[in-house]
Amino acid sequence: MTYQELIASILSLQEEGIELFNAGKSVLGKNILATHLGDYSGTQILIQAGIHAREWITTLLLVEMVRNLYNNDLVKDGGIYFVFLTNPDGAQIELDGVDSLNCDITREYLTLANGGSTDFSQFKANVNLVDLNTNFDANWGGGSQNVFCPATEDFVGFYPESEREVQSLVNFTLKTRPLLTISYHSKGNVIYYGFENESEENIERDRNIGEALSATTNYPLIFTENSTGGYKDWCIDELRIPAYTIEVGADSIPHPVGVEYLPEIYNRNKDVPLVALQKANEFASSIDFMGRIVQNSSNGKVKVKSNGSGYLARLQSLYERRSANWSRNRKK
Ligand SMILES: [Zn+2]
């Protein structure tokens, strides 16, 4: 697999009539490719993959999911956003090595962090050597694995949401307002749910939905311990929506998980998007996207829930906190 082949597999969906668009940009200016299936009104969910460089098998999984759902017209009662490859720069480094980058200093920076080796097959970070799934603003820097200096994995960044890929996914999520998110990672054959300080009520809701995901994949459902700064953590902590990390592929498989495992992984996960959308619909009344605006698909009218002012207040506090981070960093 080369980086070009990985991107070509996403782009091949266009030949089948599937429309792609950009969810944002990477540090090096690459497009973060996405698509949407189903209806733009009603319940929306979001599925993202490839946030860790060496886990691009999850990108291929999403491509297969989209192909099947689109060709069989399976998405009803809402819509599903797919973000295929949240970390395209990292995937390029992992697949093609640092010689594919056209900047000597960047190559040296990455090679130094890689212990002088030109083997980047275990690389997880982005081009700035930030582990993107630790860079979200959810108890940022509080994890036991976190490191505070650029590294091929586990570096949380110099401040939360410092990375363009993370900002892209945050902004895309705030814009699309999903009621549930799924993050695909490899590996471990397990589903993680929940986050520290989440309310008992929401944990119960998330467990119920997670059990349906566990039933369709046959992966065990595990409550998250000691995870901070991940996209799933941010969705739960900031947006108060159910969010899951699904780890595909057995632990015994070496990284990166090869394409030969894709059929088995696809078979176990192919129903996840529809089960997740169905459960999001079922629990829609108890999912409060910062006091979300509910779109009524039956008459096309937009109905603002009673706690709509709560949404505006929380959105404002979120933006204030983000701009405080921004100005704090600029002063350094
Ligand atoms: Zn991962």
pLDDT tens series, the chain, 332 aa = 999 999 999 999 999 999 999 999 999 999 999 999 999 999 999 999 999 999 999 999 999 999 999 999 999 999 999 999 999 999 999 999 999 999 999 999 999 999 999 999 999 999 999 999 999 999 999 999 999 999 999 999 999 999 999 999 999 999 999 999 999 999 999 999 999 889 999 999 999 999 999 999 999 999 998 889 999 999 999 999 999 999 999 999 999 999 999 999 999 999 999 999 999 999 999 998 875 444 444 544 444 444 444 556 666 666 666 666 666 555 54
Rounded to 10 deg, the angle between the 272-282 and 200-217 helix axes is 150
CA of 62 to the centre of ligand 1 (A): 15
Give the pLDDT score at 303.
44
Q: How far is the CA of 306 from the centre of ligand 1 (A)?
A: 38
pLDDT for the residue numbered 134? 98
Whether the CB-CB separation of 278 and 180 falls below 8 Å is answered with no
Range(s) of the domain holding residue 202: 3-331
Would you put residue 41 in left (φ > 0), alpha (ψ -120 to 50) or beta? beta
* pLDDT value, residue 250: 96
Predicted confidence at residue 296, as pLDDT, reads: 43
Rounded to 5°, angle at Cα 167 from 270 and 132: 65
Residues 168/174, Cβ–Cβ less than 8 Å:
no
pLDDT of residue 313: 61
151: nearest Cα among 168, 135, 170, 169: 135
Distance 155 CA to ligand 1 centre (A): 13
User: Ligand 1 centroid vs 13 CA: distance in angstroms?
Assistant: 24
User: What is the distance in A from the centroid of ligand 1 to the CA of 56?
Assistant: 10
In the chain, the number of structural domains is 1
Separation of 121 CA from ligand 1 center, angstroms? 14
Ligand 1 centroid, distance to 23 Cα (angstroms): 20
Q: Mapped to the 3 state alphabet, what secondary structure does the chain carry?
A: CCHHHHHHHHHHHHHHCCCCEEEEECCCCCEEEEEEEECCCCCEEEEEECCCHHHCHHHHHHHHHHHHHHHCCCCCCCEEEEECCCCHHHHHHHHHCHHHCCCHHHHHHHHHHCCCCCCCCCCCCCCCCCCHHHCCCCCCCCCCCCECCCCCCCECCCCCCCCHHHHHHHHHHHHHCCCCEEEEEECCCEEEECCCCCCHHHHHHHHHHHHHHHHHHCCCEEECCCCCCCHHHHHHHHHCCCEEEEEECCCCCCCCCCHHHHHHHHHHHCCHHHHHHHHHHHCHHHCCCCCCEEECCCCCCEEECCCHHHHHHHHHHHHHHHHHHHHHHHHC
Pair 168, 32: CB distance under 8 Å: yes
At 197 the pLDDT is 87
How far away, in angstroms, is 256 Cα from ligand 1 center?
Answer: 11
Residue written as tokens 């953590």? Answer: 233
- How many angstroms is it from 199 CA to the middle of ligand 1? 26
**Residues by chain with Cβ below 5 Å of ion ligand 1:** 52, 55, 185
CA of 218 to the centre of ligand 1 (A): 19
CA 233 to ligand 1 centroid distance, Å = 13
Q: How far is the CA of 93 from the centre of ligand 1 (A)?
A: 16
pLDDT at 258: 97
State residue 290's pLDDT score.
78
Do the Cβ atoms of 301 and 283 come closer than 8 Å? no
Ligand 1 centroid, distance to 49 Cα (angstroms): 9
Q: What is the CA radius of gyration of the chain?
A: 19
- Encoding tokens for residue 62? 């999403």
Q: How far is the CA of 185 from the centre of ligand 1 (A)?
A: 4
For residue 304, the CA-to-ligand 1 centroid distance in Å is 36
The pTM assigned to this predicted structure is 0.89
Q: Residue 284 and residue 66: Cα distance in Å, rounded?
A: 23
User: pLDDT value at position 320?
Assistant: 66
Q: The domain that contains 326 carries what CATH number?
A: 3.40.630.10
Burial of 250 (0-12, 13-18, 19+ CB in 10 A): middle
Ligand 1 mean position, distance from CA 22 (Å): 22
Residue 227 has what pLDDT?
84
pLDDT computed for residue 301 by the predictor: 45
- 246 CA → ligand 1 middle, Å: 9
Closest CA to 81 of 127, 113, 39: 39
